Chains A and B, each alone.
Chain A
Amino acid sequence: MCDERERLIEYVYDECSDPERRQVESHLHECPVCRNEIGGLRRVRQDLLAWDVPEHGSVWQPFAPPRVAWSWREVPSWALAAAAVAMFAVGAAGGVATHALVPHEPGDVVVSAAPVQPALTPVVLSEMESRLLGRVRTEMQAWQPVPAGPSVGLDLSAVEARLLERVRAELRESDRRLIDLDEFMLRIGNETARIRTDVNNLQQGVTDLQLVAERGPGGLK
């Protein structure tokens, strides 16, 4: 026991089983050296209690509760699509209305020499959308997965080729629509430039009228 310091430590910290505790106590009864050792360990443990830690405030800046974030993922995809179409339609309608309300004259300034295209109205957009959806539906109906069977097997290359073709078609359609959108934006720019010219002309007219008012009917040269 005198050579088994681990057992004394277990006893001092009360981390031994009951039989072990009884064994150590029985030994301590007979051995003054270990008794002295145990007494010394208990005293030093008592001394250790004197080492206190100064009082201190919290060093932690608590995390603020998270702000309620509006997530796009919570909105159904159909609603996002509808909102996008509505926004686009409103923009297009604005452009068309501007185009219809402002009178055109042969002498108007034209910023770009782009070829004249039919107006991109909501009706046209809707037709384009319907055409695209119709194509996708047709292709999906035409596409039949290869039935799996022990002798036939799955022709992955054919499936991949079809999928690739579909992706390419979608990309082409997407590119075409982007080009349409660019042209639409260009036309809006043209319309804006024309309106600005009209406003300038109007301002010039107002200035002329003011001069006439100041100088009388014969004052304007």
Chain B
Amino acid sequence: MAVGTRPGDRATDNLMMRTDEELVARATAGDTEAFNQLVKRWERPIYALAYRTLGREEDARDVVQDAFLRAYRGLRAFKGEAKFSSWLYRITLNLCRDWIRRERRAPVVQVPEGTDPVDLADAKASPAESVEDLVARREMSAAVSRAMAELPEEQRTAIMLKEYQGLTFQEIADLLDCPLSTVKTRLYQGLSVLRRRLERRQAEEASLRRATWESGS
């Protein structure tokens, strides 16, 4: 054993090399460490999907916990016909849908905090990004989340699975249990609506800037 390596580290390294299918098989046989590894691998994408669907961090956290618990309990029922990640996405989307139905409201549009320039300076993604760029990025993020929240659920889900989760058309069709052509239509329609809304917003901002500049001069 290498110096400074604990026995558990080697086991964890070993699990990190395993495929999802192998980890699922081990977890089904009772290996809880294998399931922990699956969670570690998929927690971020699942959280991102839940957050973008629900719009609020605390709700997304609850849904993620619930999704993994349900996945763990349902491991024996998972036949491996779909990818583990697709199965997990399906569980998460169902939970989000239940949550929205239970709360009887549309997804929340959470405007990112931190409009204070000092906070923004701390929150810069990279040293090369200026505060102005960061402000613009935050505003665009809020505009996108608002525009997405206004889309019909089918279009919003298709766009999220394609753009943010990187699934193929076929994977989305399997996950949503709909024809391939429907997925493409939903994507096209959703993107077209988003495009119009975001272009209108940009036009309004440009108009506002021009008015500000003219009143100042």
Alpha-carbon separation in the docked complex, A220 to B143 (Å): 107
Contacting pair B188 A9 (CB below 8 A): yes
| Residues B36 and A56 in contact, CB atoms below 8 Å apart | no
Give 1 or 0 for each of B21-34: 1 = CB within 8 Å of chain A CB: 00000000010110
Q: Which of A17-25, A59-67, A209-217 contacts B (4 or more CB under 8 A)?
A: A59-67
Q: Which of A38-46, A98-106, A128-136 contacts B (4 or more CB under 8 A)?
A: A38-46
Closest chain B residue, CB of each to CB of A10: B184
In the complex, the answer to whether B52 meets A51 with C-beta atoms within 8 Å is yes
Chain B interface: which size bin?
35 or more
Q: Return A219 CB to nearest CB of chain B, in Å.
A: 77
On whether A60 and B185 interact (CB within 8 A), knowing A51-B141, A53-B48, the answer reads: no
A115 to B64, CA, bound (A): 70
Q: Identify the interface centre among A13, A51, A59, A65: most chain B CB within 10 Å of its CB.
A: A51
Cβ < 8 Å to A, chain B residues 175-200? 181, 184-185, 187-188, 191-192, 194-195, 198-199
B57 touches A54 (CB 8 A): yes
Contacting residues, chain A, for B43 (C-beta < 8 A) = 58-60
CB distance from A45 to the nearest CB of B (A): 7
Residue B84 is within 8 A (CB to CB) of chain A in the complex: no
| Complex Cα–Cα for A63 and B36 (A) | 7
Please indicate the chain B residues that have their CB under 8 angstroms from the CB of A51 in the complex: 52, 140-141, 144-145, 148, 164
In the assembled complex, which residues on chain B have CB atoms less than 8 Å from the CB atom of A43?
195
The contact of A41 among B33, B140, B195, by CB within 8 Å, is B195
Q: How far is the CB of B89 from chain A (nearest CB, A)?
A: 15
Q: Would you give the shortest CB distance from A171 to chain B, in whole angstroms?
A: 37
Q: Tell which of B30, B148, B162, B185 touches A66, judged by Cβ atoms closer than 8 Å.
A: B30
Q: Determine which of B52, B143, B162, B168 lies in contact with A53 in the assembled complex, contact meaning CB atoms within 8 Å.
A: B52
Residues of B within 8 A of A13 (CB): 162, 169, 187
Report Cα–Cα, A13/B167, bound state, in Å: 11
CB–CB B32/A54 < 8 A: no
Whether a CB of chain A sits under 8 angstroms from the CB of B74 is no
- Residue contact B191 to A65, C-beta cutoff 8 Å: no
Distance (whole angstroms) from the CB of A183 to the closest CB of chain B: 46
Task: Tell me whether A5 is interfacial, beta carbon within 8 Å.
Answer: yes
Is B187 touching A9 in the complex (CB atoms < 8 A)? yes
A56 to B168 Cα, complex, angstroms: 27
**Of the residues A15, A41, A64, A65, contact of B169 by C-beta under 8 Å:** A15
B168 touches A15 (CB 8 A): yes
**Are A48 and B137 CB-contacts (below 8 A) given A9-B188, A41-B191, A63-B35?**
no
Q: What is the distance, in angstroms, from B27's C-beta to the closest C-beta of chain A?
A: 9
Candidates B61, B162, B194; contact of A59 at CB < 8 Å: B61
In the assembled complex, the Cα of A9 lies from the Cα of B195 at a distance in Å of 14
Residues of chain A within 8 A (CB-CB) of B112 are: 54
Q: How far is the CB of B101 from chain A (nearest CB, A)?
A: 22
Q: Is A3 an interface residue (CB 8 A)?
A: no
Judging by beta carbons under 8 Å apart, are A48 and B144 in contact? yes
Residues of A within 8 A of B187 (CB): 9, 13
A8 at the interface (CB under 8 A from B): yes
Contacts A41-B191, A44-B195, A52-B141 given; 11 further ones with Cβ under 8 A? A6-B188, A10-B184, A13-B169, A45-B163, A50-B137, A50-B144, A51-B148, A60-B39, A60-B43, A63-B36, A65-B33
Q: Which residues of B contact A (CB under 8 A)?
A: 30, 32-33, 35-36, 39-40, 43, 47-48, 51-52, 57, 61, 64-65, 68, 112, 137, 140-141, 143-145, 148, 159, 162-164, 168-169, 181, 184-185, 187-188, 191-192, 194-195, 198-199
Chain A to chain B: the 4 pairs with minimum beta-carbon distance, closest first: A63-B32, A50-B140, A44-B195, A51-B144
